[in-house]
Amino acid sequence: MAWRISLWFVLALASPLVVAQRAPVTQSFDLRVPWSPEPVRVEGKASLVYELHLTSYAKEPLRLTTIAVVDDGGHALATFEGKALETVLGRPDHPADKDLTRIPPGVDAVAYLSVPLDPGASPHLHHRVTYTADVTPALPATIGGGAFAGPRRWSCIPPS
């Protein structure tokens, strides 16, 4: 009888580990901002102009659907999707099909971003990227990353 209780106890402890191991792994991107951007004036408006580098380490192609620039308070300062997303993307591999939002495994993409500054926003910014795996069914996934600290005070923006 004691061995049955011991066996039950071992199985009860091991069952959460078995369930945890079955959780699906979501393929994703590495996000990074290669330098800390400084504010500039573009067409009379204060903005941060910089690059967000995205590298796919997935086993299958990933399709970008949205890039949002978000402050510490969770407020999106800029969101790029649809044609706006296609306009800001560049790919060093120059895909023949011209589909810049479909990122094959091991390929880099660069988002050339111009983000209007909000004087009330936190200077600590990061990115929220939504994408789908290029398989059926294409379930959306969202990751955060590419964090950087902008200027401590938006008041240091050069005058126009």
* Whole-prediction pTM: 0.77
Would you place residue 143 in the very low, low, confident or very high pLDDT band (cuts 50, 70, 90)? Answer: very high
Q: Helices (H) and strands (E) in the chain — how many of each?
A: 2, 10
pLDDT in tens, 38-80: 888 878 888 899 999 999 988 889 999 999 999 888 889 999 9
Cα distances from 87 to residues 34, 81, 111, 113, 120, in angstroms, run: 20, 9, 9, 10, 28
End-to-end CA distance of the chain: 84
Q: For residues 89-97, give the mean pLDDT.
A: 87
CATH code that applies to domain 25-146: 2.60.40
105 or 8, which is more confident? 105
The ranges assigned to domains in the chain are 25-146
pLDDT in tens, 97-112: 889 999 999 999 999 9
Would you place residue 34 in the very low, low, confident or very high pLDDT band (cuts 50, 70, 90)? Answer: very high
